[in-house]
Structure 1
Amino acid sequence: MKLRNKIFVYTTGLFILLLIAFAGAIYYLFADHTYERELDRLEVEASNMVTNLTDVDANIPVDDLLRAYVPSNGSIRVLDSDYNMMTSVTSGEQMTLFDVSMPEQRGRFVQLFQDDQTLAIVQEPMIWQDGQVVYVQVIENLSHIEETLNNLQLVLLFVVLIGVVPVVVSGKLLADLILGPIQSLIQTMNDIKESQTFKQIPLKRQSKDELYTMTETFNDMIALLQEHYEKQEQFVSNASHELRTPITVIESYANLVKRRGLERPEVVEEAIEAIASESTRMKDLTEQLLLLAKRDQDWQIRSDEVDLKDLLPTISEHLSQGYHREIKVDANKSFKIQTDEQKLTQLLYILLDNALKYSEAPVDLMLSGEQKPVITIQDYGVGIPESHQSRVFERFYRVDEARNRQTGGSGLGLTLAKEITDALNIDLRLTSIEGQGTTIKLYF
């Protein structure tokens, strides 16, 4: 059985059973209360009759006295101490009441008899005219109550039947409400399987129930899978694209050495230098690709206390020695921050490396700010045309292919820098004027 049918059957069946139980409880309580009320009334009448009979003159015929108290749809009979019939009086339509058998129970009792008719019987002891103890039984037919109870049964049955309609409708609506998101989930998964694409379930409204949470969790899972898939696909594409050139160069020089290495030693030296250079470039490129292939959530960010006033001169000194270029550092104010020192250092290396590659003049490295630090990297080189500035952080994007071949760039530096700033929660802003230089500011 499908889950929708199970929910419908179980909920509808449960509500119908509750309706029947509720109707049965109403009927039982009403019947019990009605019978008790009639018996209480009959008991009061019997007690009053016994009291009055005790005070009546003995010369008056007993049957005449009893006839004054007989119920309109019942009878009165007198039994001796051995429960033998002494006398009885009945209304005209209740002759059959004489045949009612009573248990030999002494004392006072109230009991209902259910045969073809329902009878209320009250027995009271009294002192008879001759001085013996007798039992006076007052019997009343409760057919009028039976009619009322039968009518109540019909009313309750009608109410139950009427109540089943909204129960069935609500059961169907409940099944649709619960199964709606699940059906969407199944449909979306089938679409993903058939189309081989990632899809999400549209969230029509925001609520706090488990179905909304399930849908939201599924969408988050699909988004995560899609991100992993795109990262993997992008990594494979980038790696195959960028590694092809250094591998081709290494292969060409290796073949050159194989053909002419023994005859021309200078070719071997040139080939070794080229192979070593391309191998280093390929290693750096692979590391950058692997780092970019990670999601931001997968970056292991440490929290170190870093004094920017001490960090900037150290980085500047290392790059100045490596490039044999001047980097002017202006870091007079001390700023101690909590960040990942290794990744911040890598970020500054990337940005200063770019500045030195595309500028012949000295590069400025400044630390400023009031309560929060701002690092500024200013070069006075070729600059970036305004039409290209919005795309310089894209992977493998190059403003000028010829210029990048001269500088050896891979087009991944600024992309990696943007990934690092996002991971460190740093706001990176770039402004550039073609022919005048580029300014990059890091806001912590």
Structure 2
Amino acid sequence: MKLGNRIQFYTTGLFIILLVLISAAVYFSFSKIVYDSDVDQTRLEAERIVTGINERSGDSLSADILRAYVPANGMIRLVLPDGTSEVSLTGGIQENLIEQAYPYDAGEKTEVRTYEGVPYAFVSIPIVWTNGEIVSFQLTRSLEATAQNLNILRIVLITVALLAMIPFFLSSRLLSRLIVNPIRSLIQTMQQIRGSGQFKKISYEGKSKDELAQMADTFNKMIVQLEENYQKEEQFVSNASHELKTPLTVIESYASLLKRRGKQEEELFQESVEAIHSEAKRMRELTEQLLLLARKEEHWDVSFESVNLSQLLQTTVASFEKAYQRKVELSCPQELHLITDEQKLKQLLYIFMDNARKYSEEQIKVNVEKAGNHAAIHVVDRGIGMSQNDLEKVFDRFYQVDESRTEGYGLGLSLAEELAHALKADIHLFSEKGAGTTAMIRLLLSEDSHFQ
């Protein structure tokens, strides 16, 4: 059974059961109240008749005198202790009541009896008869009018229940569609994705914040994430195949050259080995950068902690100076602490200082400014600088400002952008053609930062 039919079947079935139970409870409660009321009235009438009989105890009671007390829709009967009837008087068309059994009751008794399908209120009260004998005075009154009213009530309840089922059936059908349509849309979208291989979102126009809207929104976010991962994978494969093609060709050429003439020419042998080693090293560095760029931000394994910015910059600058034999001027006048990942921040600083080294022969400057609850680290060079057109493209992968002077692959700033996102930092480049470039890293300070 389909989910929509199951929802409609269960909701309609439950409603019908509840409607039947409520209608039955109303009917039986009302009928009991009405019958109890009629029995109470019959009992009061019987007591009134008994009172009248007692007032005439000195007179000679006859059937004609008792006939005055007979109800129009009932019967009066006096039953002796031996079970015989002393008097049996009926009113109206209730002669058939004479045929009823009339057991003797020594005590008072009230109940509803049914005879030939008609309900009757029955009251039995013991009284002292003219001869001093205790007899049972029994009053029976027809409740046919009450039964007819209850039949009308039963018909009304059944009709109302049937009429109520129609809008509920329609509403349950609408509810099942409301629930199932987003699921059907999800299934159709998934089938289309599987058939076409193209990522597609669910078209969901609902403005509610219910679970169905959350499901559609979660699915769309998942599709966006899958599409981004797929595009990253495609881009990684494309970038890797493009950039690895040249070093692999060089290695293959020199290996073929070594195979043919390497044993005879020592100089060619050394040249080929150096070229192969250089290209292999280049391939390794390129592969590492490509793998870093292929990672999702949440998989960078970032560990945030309070870091002393002055100490971090001193160790980073010292390591850079030793590695490249370049002087770096450091200015960090304040004792500042950052909430960041120390190793990732060092990696980000290395990228900007390495770019400054590649594009400038002059001294590199690193200075820090405090602005509110943030610290801005500036890496400044006085190199060739960039035009505004280059600044707009410099974060694109494999984009190189001046290929004749760069040593990299155009991946450094793309990696810097990914690192900045992982560190929750802002990065900006300010540059002027022929005047140099300034790279700014803006990070959040920890609460224990203070002036010296």
User: Would you say same fold, with TM above 0.5?
Assistant: yes
Aligned to 1:427: 426
Aligned to 1:97: 97
Aligned to 2:447: none
Check conservation: 1:365, 1:376, Cα contact below 8 A.
Answer: yes
Name the aligned partner's letter for residue 197 of structure 1.
Answer: Q
Once the two structures are TM-superposed, the CA of residue 104 in structure 1 deviates from its matched residue by 5.0
Once the two structures are TM-superposed, the CA of residue 332 in structure 1 deviates from its matched residue by 3.0
Partners of 1:316 and 1:61 lie apart in 2 by: 132
Distance 1:369 1:94, change over 3 A: same
Partners of 1:43 and 1:318 lie apart in 2 by: 112
Once the two structures are TM-superposed, the CA of residue 6 in structure 1 deviates from its matched residue by 0.9
Q: 1:185-264, aligned counterparts within 5 Å?
A: 185-264=186-265
Q: Quick check: 1:381 aligned with 2:383?
A: yes
Aligned to 2:407: 408
Q: Quick check: 1:436 aligned with 2:438?
A: no
Aligned to 1:35: 35
Greater CA drift, 330-339 or 32-41: 330-339
Greater CA drift, 15-24 or 69-78: 15-24
CA RMSD of aligned residues (A): 1.8
Once the two structures are TM-superposed, the CA of residue 103 in structure 1 deviates from its matched residue by 4.5
Partners of 1:165 and 1:83 lie apart in 2 by: 58
Check conservation: 2:397, 2:411, Cα contact below 8 A.
Answer: yes
Deviation string, structure 1 residues 152-209 (Cα, Å, up to 9, x no partner): 1221122112211221121112111211221221121112112212222245345443
Partners of 2:78 and 2:96 lie apart in 1 by: 16
Q: Which TM-score applies when normalising by structure 1?
A: 0.94
Partners of 2:305 and 2:72 lie apart in 1 by: 103
Partners of 1:279 and 1:269 lie apart in 2 by: 15
Once the two structures are TM-superposed, the CA of residue 274 in structure 1 deviates from its matched residue by 1.5
Partners of 1:128 and 1:208 lie apart in 2 by: 82
Greater CA drift, 302-311 or 379-388: 302-311
Aligned to 2:78: 78
Q: Secondary structure of 1:83's partner?
A: coil
Check conservation: 2:57, 2:130, Cα contact below 8 A.
Answer: no
Q: Quick check: 1:23 aligned with 2:23?
A: yes
Q: Secondary structure of 2:68's partner?
A: helix
Greater CA drift, 11-20 or 300-309: 300-309
Aligned to 2:170: 169
Check conservation: 1:53, 1:65, Cα contact below 8 A.
Answer: no
Q: Secondary structure of 2:440's partner?
A: strand
Name the aligned partner's letter for residue 80 of structure 1.
Answer: L
Partners of 1:103 and 1:240 lie apart in 2 by: 110
Name the aligned partner's letter for residue 379 of structure 2.
Answer: I
Check conservation: 2:76, 2:137, Cα contact below 8 A.
Answer: yes
Once the two structures are TM-superposed, the CA of residue 65 in structure 1 deviates from its matched residue by 2.6
Aligned to 2:450: none
Check conservation: 1:309, 1:367, Cα contact below 8 A.
Answer: no
Gaps of 5+ in 2: 444-452
Distance 1:205 1:55, change over 3 A: same
Deviation string, structure 1 residues 300-330 (Cα, Å, up to 9, x no partner): 1123443222332333333333333332222
Greater CA drift, 123-132 or 188-197: 188-197
Check conservation: 2:79, 2:103, Cα contact below 8 A.
Answer: no
Aligned to 2:448: none
Partners of 1:333 and 1:59 lie apart in 2 by: 127
Q: Secondary structure of 1:435's partner?
A: coil
Greater CA drift, 377-386 or 292-301: 377-386
Partners of 2:135 and 2:171 lie apart in 1 by: 64
Partners of 1:313 and 1:120 lie apart in 2 by: 108
Aligned to 1:390: 392
Q: Secondary structure of 1:329's partner?
A: strand
Partners of 1:119 and 1:206 lie apart in 2 by: 63
Partners of 2:363 and 2:83 lie apart in 1 by: 132
Distance 1:239 1:104, change over 3 A: farther
Partners of 2:317 and 2:426 lie apart in 1 by: 21
- Aligned residues between the structures: 441
Name the aligned partner's letter for residue 286 of structure 1.
Answer: T
Name the aligned partner's letter for residue 129 of structure 2.
Answer: W
Check conservation: 1:16, 1:167, Cα contact below 8 A.
Answer: no
Deviation string, structure 1 residues 398-439 (Cα, Å, up to 9, x no partner): 234x42xx4321111000011111111111011111122111
Once the two structures are TM-superposed, the CA of residue 129 in structure 1 deviates from its matched residue by 0.4
Deviation string, structure 1 residues 228-262 (Cα, Å, up to 9, x no partner): 32222222222111111111111112222222222
Partners of 1:12 and 1:436 lie apart in 2 by: 79
Gaps of 5+ in 1: none
Name the aligned partner's letter for residue 76 of structure 1.
Answer: I
Q: Secondary structure of 1:390's partner?
A: helix
Once the two structures are TM-superposed, the CA of residue 76 in structure 1 deviates from its matched residue by 0.4
Check conservation: 1:74, 1:91, Cα contact below 8 A.
Answer: yes
Once the two structures are TM-superposed, the CA of residue 116 in structure 1 deviates from its matched residue by 2.6
Name the aligned partner's letter for residue 86 of structure 1.
Answer: E
Check conservation: 1:377, 1:441, Cα contact below 8 A.
Answer: yes
